[in-house]
Structure 1
Amino acid sequence: MVGRLRARANASMWVAPALILVLVFIYYPIIENVRLSFFSWSAFSPEPRPVGLDNYRALGSDPVFWRALGNNIGYAVVSLVFQVGLALVLAAVLEAYVGRRLRGLLRTIYFIPAVISITVAGMLFQFLYDPHIGLVNRFLGAVGLDSLQHSWLGDQDTAIWSVIAMSQWQSIGYTTMLFMVAIQRIPAELYESAHVDGAGRIRSFFVITVPMVREMTTLLVVVTISGAFLAFNEVMVMTGGGPANSSQVLGTWLYHSAFLNDDMGYAAAIATVIFVITLAASVIQLIRAQRRRVET
């Protein structure tokens, strides 16, 4: 009995530092942010003034907030299509149809964008989108699509989608590599049995590959949705939220409210909304994954 208590005490001593760090640097800031969202205060305020739900009511009547939220939702939908759906298809094709040597080369090519700094990638695509010397407009002109040439980052209708396109280019290689690792862990006997039963490549993909990489898919869905609602750097580097706030996302509008408008309470309310959305998306996916695990 004494030895068991001593073992638990020793284990607690090892766990305590990590637990303290998590409480101090993760949970305490979250709780403090939620608390401050019920106050009106600025960086120069002598003391925060309680305003109840006024900051959240202001969110409901703020057109830029709703524009930013819509941009984040669009960001999440496009990211799910490319970083999860297309990445899974691409990984399956590479594993099924590409030889080992070429597969290794393609892995490297696809993964290179993921290791490039987001700032460098944003500046690179700024150059590509330049309306006068950018390669995008030059390519359109070369193939006879001159009517489609315009200022991609300067147009309110295309600015946010241009930023999202850059993000997909940078991220899809990383998620493809993760799917390839998951596919490699599937027993080859399953595909051989499916082939004997007359299943082709496409049918095998849907009845074997997709179900067997479900855990990786759940993880990437959570990470992708969270990343879409936490987007900040790419927008700040490429557009700064413009033109006319058309490419604002929740992260950049939070920054604008806190450090340009000096409305810290309002910014804290935006941060709380981001936290609730990302937490809800993660919990829903994890609950669904747990239910599927129990059913099987």
Structure 2
Amino acid sequence: MKNNGYQNQYFDYFKKISFILPALLLLLLLTAYPLYQVIIMSFYDYSNTDNPIFAGIENYTRFFVDPLFWKSLINTIIFTIVSVAFSFIIGMTFALLLNQQINTKFRAVFRSVLIFPWLTSSTVVAAIFMLMFNPFGLINHFLSMFGMDTLAQTAWLGNENTALASIIIANVWRSFPFMMLMLLAGLQTIPKDLYEAAELDGAGFFQRLLYITIPSLKNIILTLATLEFIWNFRAFDLVFLMTGGGPMNSTEILSTYIYQFAFRKLDFGYASATALFMLLVMVALSLFYVRKSISKED
């Protein structure tokens, strides 16, 4: 009887696995094999594409002597941290506003308007902000209206001092609605009794925010920050469409850096090694996220 029980249990496991087996095979085909090819390519020199030469770890040691790699890494870190920070601040601000006791129809319409940037494709977002940051665009027009004529002559995407900040603004505009929706969902789960008791004790808005809201949303904030960090660290489309890494490599990030070597310089070996470095960073962040998720369940 016991053996029959084990057999039935294994049979149930097999039935469950069989449902996802086609998807697992497809996933392996689309990810495992290309990853294997990238790993192999990272050990070869493709200066002569007809006859690649085994280069050992030479492609990996180039990281330490290429100033552009370090510049792109620093730009990636700045782009990621600033984007995540401002997306959270703006998302939390609007989530708190939408969580107030206001007219439900107005709140629904306002929420629909605010979610629009998140639903807009990267190509459209890039086109909108390229027009806005144009020397004759909307930003400079408003600056000149307020008497800031010197600043209104700035070519925001053509100036190496302002290009990265301009792209970050566009990226924050596109990504804050996701933060807003997730935080709003979390806010609606916090018992109102906690706020009422805090008000009776004389707690102000910021005290309630620091001692009730943020601690209650700690797990959601950690999850959102990790996911946004991963997504922004591997960002490519917005930067590539708006500046392509220029001017003077001032907006070069790791993804555009890899693109330059792979598809313009045809240095597939070094591009593969750099891509693997980027992958390891994202895997480390993913493991951190999984570990925190498991600890929350425990």
| TM-score with structure 2 setting the length | 0.90
Other structure's SS at 1:45 match: coil
Q: What residue identity is the alignment partner of 1:136? A: I
1:107 to 107, 111, 115: 111
Q: Which residue is 1:209 aligned to? A: 213
Contact 1:122–1:237 (CA under 8 A) maintained in structure 2: yes
**Do the aligned partners of 1:257 and 1:266 also contact (CA within 8 Å) in 2?**
yes
Give yes or no for contact 1:41–1:265 (8 Å, CA) kept in 2.
yes
Q: How much has 1:125 moved relative to structure 2?
A: 0.9
User: 1:106 & 1:24 partners in 2: Cα distance?
Assistant: 43
Structure 1 letter corresponding to 2:54: P
> Which residue does 2:147 correspond to in 1?
144
What is the aligned partner in structure 2 of residue 283 from structure 1? 287
Shift of 1:135: 0.8
Answering whether residue 133 of structure 2 is matched by residue 135 of structure 1, we say: no
**Superposition pairs for residues 239-254 of structure 1, below 5 Å?**
239-254=243-258
Q: Say which SS state the counterpart of residue 208 (structure 1) adopts.
A: helix
Confirm or deny that 1:120 pairs with 2:148.
no
**Matches of 2:171 and 2:43, distance apart in 1:** 34
- Determine if contact 1:186/1:212 at 8 Å carries over to the other structure: yes
Q: What runs of 5+ residues in structure 2 fail to find an aligned partner?
A: none
Instruction: Supply the distance in 1 between the matched residues of 2:16 and 2:294 (Cα, whole angstroms).
Output: 29
Deviation of 1:31 after TM superposition, in Å, equals 3.9
Q: CA deviation at 1:291?
A: 4.7
| Alignment counterpart, residue 82 of structure 2, candidates 55, 78, 83 | 78
**What is the root-mean-square deviation of aligned Cα atoms in Å?**
2.1
Does residue 15 of the first structure (1) align with residue 20 of the second (2)?
A: yes
The Cα shift of 1:197 comes to 3.3
User: Residue in 2 aligned with 1:29?
Assistant: 34
- Equivalent-residue separation in structure 2 for 1:83 and 1:285 (angstroms): 19
Are the equivalent residues in 2 in contact too, given 1:110–1:174 (CA < 8 A)? no
Change (3 A) 1:6 1:293: closer
- 3-state SS of 1:52 partner: coil
- Give the equivalent residue in structure 2 for 1:173: 177
- Tell me the CA shift for residue 277 of structure 1: 1.5
CA distance in 1, matches of 2:159, 2:105: 43
Q: Give the drift of 1:247.
A: 1.1
Q: Distance in 2 between matches of 1:250 and 1:73?
A: 10
User: 1:196 matched to which residue of 2?
Assistant: 200
Residue 64 of structure 1 corresponds to which residue in structure 2? 68
Give, in angstroms, the shift of residue 152 of structure 1.
Answer: 0.5
Equivalence for 1:40? 45
For structure 1, the residue ranges without an aligned partner over 5 or more in a row are none
Q: Displacement, 1:34?
A: 2.8
Rate the CA distance shift 1:26–1:98 in 2: closer, same or farther, 3 A.
farther
Q: Tell me the SS of whatever aligns to 1:19.
A: helix
TM-score (norm 1): 0.90
Given the alignment, which residue of 46, 52, 57 partners 2:56?
A: 52
- The answer to which of 241-250 and 6-15 deviates more is 6-15
* Identity level (%): 31
Q: Report the secondary structure of 1:154's partner residue.
A: coil
Question: For residues 292 and 144 of structure 1, do their structure 2 counterparts lie closer, same or farther at Cα, with a shift above 3 Å needed?
Answer: same
SS of the residue 2:281 aligns to = helix
CA shift, 1:293, in A, is: 6.0
Deviation, structure 1 residue 154: 0.6
Q: Which amino acid aligns with 1:35?
A: I
1:218–1:289 Cα contact (<8 Å) kept: no
What number of residue pairs does the alignment pair up? Answer: 292
